[in-house]
Amino acid sequence: MGTVLTVRDLCKGDILKSIGFEIQEGEMIALMGPSGSGKSTLLYNVSGMDQADGGEVRLGGIEIVGLREDEKARLRLNQMGFVFQQMNVLANLNIIDNIVLPAVHAKKKQRRELYKRARALMDGFHIGDLAERRVHEVSGGQLQRACICRSMMMEPEILFADEPTGALNQAAAMDVMEAFLQINRAGTSILMATHDSKNAGVCERILYILDGEIKGELKLGKYTRDDAKEREKKTLRWLDEMGW
Amino acid sequence: MKKRLIVNDLQANKLVAVSTCIFMAASAMLLGLSILLFGSLSSSIDCLMETAQTPDFLQMHAGEIDEEELALFSEERGDVEAMQVCRFLNLQNSQLSIGGKSLIDNMQDNGLCCQNHSFDFLIDAENKRIQPDPGEVYVPVCYKREYGIQTGDVMQIGLQELGVAGFLRDSQMNSMMASSKRFLVNQADYERMRPLGHEEYLIEFKLREGSDTNAFSTAYEDAGLPGNGPTITYPLVKMMNALSDGMMILVILLVSAVVLFISMLCIRYIILTQLEKDKREIGLLKAVGISKRDVRSLYFSKYLLLSVFGCLVGVIAALIAAEPLGAQMRELYGEAGHMDLIYPLMILGSLAAEGIILLSVYRTLGKMEKMSVVRALYGQGNYGKKKNLYLPIGIITASAVFMILVPWNIQSTIAAPGFVTYMGIGESQVRIDIRQTEAVEEKAKAAAREIEQDALVRDYALMHTGSYKTVLPDGTAYNLMIENGDHGRFPVRYLEGSHPDSRDEIAVSILNSKEMNVHVGDTIRVYPDLGDNHAGPVSCTVCGIYSDVTNGGKTAKACLAGYEDQTPVMWSVIYLSLEDDRLAGAWVEAYRTKYSSHDDGIKAATIADYIRGTYGQTIRNIQKAAVVSAASACLILFVVTLLLLRLAIWRERSDSSLKKALGFTSADIKEAYVKKTFQYVLPGIAVGCFAGIVPGQSLAGALLGSMGAYGFHFIINPIAVFVVAPVAIAAAAALATWASLKEVGRIRAYECLGARTGND
């Protein structure tokens, strides 16, 4: 198993202080910590959306920190996927057009092929019948699953998720997490910032951040439906120890 | 995808799209229209002057001439290509009537002439040389509209009759600013009418290409050739032809510059507000890997599409507007040539307007590149300082008032009696011209004696003009046309210094001061004709400089008369004021009946009629431009206020919703919007009034300087400036405010409780 993402001595103002960790191929990692601990900042600096002050971030063989804005954008387009808490979509496009948007921009495949793939992804996440709907005509959970489809269109090496269920009710959140597991099982690495111990419990590892530093790590191993309850308990205990 | 994004965005923001398009179309239209009209005017005049073969130098002369002497002069000079002497039968206006309408009020020297053989042709509507048949007369086209003349009307000259066979274009005398008008008749008719008028000569020269007209003019005068009358040169003819319509075009150009500024300002605000609204979406596009350049290009494409549409609409609107605005131009000067060049130039002008706007759009869109992805994603930060949407309403109100006032003020200034003082004419109520007749001086003095006895006359001044030899400070000899008399009674406006008071003072026109290179304080030696008493020259100090468009603009004013000066008087003018200025019209009427109807050399007119006759065309054209300008200003302000208030309401929707939740009514919220809007509209009106008068005056001064009226001050119509324009503008703003505030009623109290994208 190769390393997908390597982070070393990553710094950003007072928020991130010499952070270091690695993500292996097919791994699903949760970032936990109280509000203001630096989870989202870490995600944005690792993905090149924000400019780190120092340190090293390697995606595959490419060092991200020193890249120009356009090069980072190209990298995000081709090798990374994103899912945000706010379910950011373009209000002027319907659901399927929102999903294919980055892939169409990348111009790597024919448009027909892209729509076919988008439909397949939507079917996989049980929103196949919403393709032509406007964004305000679907529920939050459905919209977030559409965002996951969009993030998967370019078959990224890694998917970043920032509180993906934060704005959803419990049922919708479960659907979304199911979608993440489905992606991860297919081999895509995931780094997810979350407040929810249940979500964190399905990940292989949990990194605990406090005041811009990784204070601890919990290894849970691959998730199976059978040990879900046990994992959640273990997670809660560990978080308790960490002062959560 | 890009197409779908743009189309969906345009559909979702129809008002913004339509407003942007209107601004782009208005800018393209006005700039295109200015170029189209200017190109057409310039080309029509060139075409007319080329077809008619306008002479380079023309000397009008009342009196005897020696044609052999003239022929010898022209043969000796290498720069003369052709010379001809045309006869002009000056008729008394009181004898003339066309279609039953008398020309007695007409200020022009009207007369008959025959078609020329070598050059200076009089041409018809199709630009063909006219050869009238016996009994036919061709009337100057400028009279067609003024007197409502039609082909087939009868022209009466005393008891003789001629049938109006059509209208003629006279490349030299088309403009009402030219003081003579030629009616074309058959040779036989001319001879038949000869006893009815007073024959004058037009001594015309066509010079070789590249010849110096000024040098020729000096040589002509130095040779002592006939010169009892005004001199007209090719550039002066061209200027007079261009002025009446040119002023209107300059006003449109001025308006187009203001509209372009307004468009750029508004579109900038629209974009910044749009970017503010789309902040998260822009952040998302960047987050998913679309480069900032591509995001900018996506937005830019939308404005590019709008500008293509705006340009198309603008060009079509310019073509439509050019029809009525160019009607008089076409009538006077004929169809323009080189339209194959003018149309592309017009399109280029419209494209340039779009280009300037798009450049500003591109620069404004650059702001989105500066915001980080994360801040945009979370709706944090602003594209620069958060824009006050009411400020542009204030700025545009001021610009709209300015747009209305400048053309109005130009028009009221030209139409005011005092305007003549900028043109070299004393401010009086009545002007009597004694010229192109025999014994000018005696007749003028006799007329002055009569006037002195007239109980209705409060004051008068008699001026005699003659040609004097002078020596300039640098020793150069110069022939100067000097008007002698009491210049303190009805003074003209002096740009520098004041009027001459004594024999050793002289004031010169600005054109002369430039050509002679003299300034106030310099000394010129003037040689009056003292007969046998050779007392030598008079040293005159330049005491003042004034602007003048009369008699070719090269004049001077002094007080040499009455000092044994025997210099022949070329023409005389009497200015007078009456005890009751309301009687000016009646006084002139009575004077005409008593004197001038019996003498073709004496013409009396009120100054108001003189202005109407000379600048009527120009005033009418500026009036047209003023109407277009005022309508555009009100429309633009309406659209801008509607748009920006809608944007403000959209931006403050959540606050308004909260207010409603807290118990405010729609009326309370609307009232606040009205107050805020008019907090900017009212100062905008005040600033616009000030700008329309003070900087507007400098701008208009530059325009009128091209007419020869230098040192210009607005003569404003206070009701128009301080009542009509502010009320019109306030009404446009109020209407737009009322229309946009309807949206406030649609805001619901629960909206502030949380808006989200999905529906659960």
Residue B759 confidence (pLDDT): 32
Residue B137's SS3 state is strand
B522-540 confidence digits (pLDDT tens):
999 988 876 665 567 888 9
Which parts of B53-140 fold into alpha helices (H)? 67-76
Q: How many helices (H) and strands (E) does chain A have?
A: 8, 10
Helices B725-740 and B607-651 sit at what angle, rounded to 10 degrees? 20
Antiparallel, parallel or unpaired: β A62-63 and A54-59: antiparallel
Indicate which of B284, B299, B377, B756 best probes the interface with A, i.e. most A CBs within 10 Å of its own CB.
B284
Q: Is the pLDDT of residue B706 over 70?
A: no
> Among candidates B650, B744, B638, which has minimal Cα distance to B13?
B650
How many Cα atoms occupy the beta-carbon half-sphere of B643 within 13 Å? 30
The whole-number pLDDT of residue B437 equals: 67
Q: CA-to-CA distance for A228 and B427, rounded, in angstroms?
A: 104
Is A88–B4 a contact, with Cβ atoms under 8 angstroms apart?
A: no
Closest CA to B720 of B399, B258, B412: B412
What is the reported pLDDT for A224?
Answer: 83
Which CATH class name applies to A3-241? Answer: alpha beta
Which of B233-237, B317-321, B722-726 is predicted least confidently?
Answer: B233-237
The span from the CA of A201 to the CA of A231, in Å, is 6
How much is the pLDDT for B730?
95
**In the prediction, which pLDDT does B55 show?**
93
Enumerate the H helices of B544-606 as residue ranges: 584-594
Count other C-beta atoms under 10 Å from residue B300's C-beta.
15
Q: CB contact, 8 Å: B4 with chain A? A: yes
| A3-12 vs A158-162, strand pairing mode | unpaired
- Nearest chain B Cα distance for residue A231, angstroms: 30
Predicted confidence at residue B709, as pLDDT, reads: 61
C-beta of residue B640 within 8 angstroms of C-beta of residue B393: yes
Of B438, B500, B624, nearest in space to B33 by CA: B624
Q: What percent of chain B has pLDDT over 90?
A: 30
Please, which pLDDT band fits residue B544 given cuts at 50, 70 and 90?
A: very high
Neighbours of A166 (CB within 10 A): 16
| Residue-averaged pLDDT of chain B | 85
Residue type (1 letter), A12: K
Q: Is B754 on the interface with A (CB under 8 A)?
A: no
- In tens, the pLDDT along B269-278 reads 888 878 877 8
Q: pLDDT digit string (tens) for A227-238?
A: 888 888 899 999
Residue of A12, A92, A170 to mutate, testing the B interface (most B Cβ within 10 Å of its Cβ): A92
Q: Is B500 helix (H, G, I), strand (E, B) or coil?
A: coil
Q: B150: Cβ–Cβ under 8 A, 6 or more apart, which residues?
A: B99, B164
B292–A172: do the CB atoms touch at under 8 Å? no
CB A141 within 8 A of CB B760: yes
User: Angle at Cα B607 formed by Cα B145 and Cα B597, nearest 5°?
Assistant: 75
3-state secondary structure at position B619: helix
> Average pLDDT in the B681-693 region?
93
Q: Does B14 touch chain A (CB under 8 A)?
A: no
Domain residue ranges of chain A, discontinuous segments joined by +: 3-241
The pLDDT value given to residue A9:
93
> CA B253, CA B36: separation in Å to the nearest integer?
11
Residues in contact with B745: Cβ distance below 8 Å, sequence separation at least 6, in sequence order: B666
Looking only at the bridges linking them, the beta strands covering B109-113 and B180-185 are: parallel
- Tell me, rounded to whole angstroms, the distance of Cα B457 from its chain centroid: 35
Establish if B377 touches chain A: CB-CB under 8 angstroms: yes
- pLDDT for the residue B350: 93
Mean pLDDT over B687-699 rounds to: 89
Is B372 in Cβ contact with A49 (below 8 Å)? Answer: yes
**CB interface of B with A, residues 279-338, below 8 Å:** 280-281, 283-294
Q: 3-state DSSP helix/strand/coil percent for chain B, to nearest 5?
A: 55, 20, 25
- Beta-bridged to residue B233, according to DSSP, are B57
DSSP string of B89-106, one letter each residue: EE--GGGEEETTEE-TT-
Tens digit of pLDDT for each residue in A66-94?
Answer: 888 888 888 888 889 988 877 778 888 89
Mean pLDDT value across residues B370-381: 72
| Dihedral (CA of B159, B163, B169, B174) sign | positive
Task: Residue B293: list chain A partners with CB under 8 A.
Answer: 70
Please state, as a whole number, how many other Cβ atoms lie within 10 Å of the Cβ of residue B339: 15
Residue type present at position B52: A
* C-alpha–C-alpha distance, residues B610 and B594, integer Å: 20
pLDDT digits over A165-220, tens only? Answer: 887 788 888 888 888 898 899 889 999 999 888 889 999 999 999 999 999 999 98
Say if CB B273 and CB B260 are below 8 A apart: no
Q: Which residues pair with B574 in a beta bridge?
A: B432, B462
Of A82, A92, A143, the CB nearest to B758: A143
Q: Do B288 and A76 touch (CB under 8 A)?
A: yes
pLDDT tier, B685 (very low <50, low <70, confident <90, very high otherwise): very high
For chain A, give the mean pLDDT.
Answer: 89
Q: What is the pLDDT of residues B149-189, one digit of tens each?
A: 999 999 999 888 999 999 999 988 887 777 789 999 999 99
Query: Is B601 in contact with B443 (CB distance < 8 Å)?
Result: yes
Letter string b/e over residues B593-624, b meaning 16 or more CB atoms within 10 A of that residue's CB = eebbeeebbbbbbbbbbbbbbbbbbbbebbeb
Are A89 and B757 within 8 A, CB to CB? Answer: yes
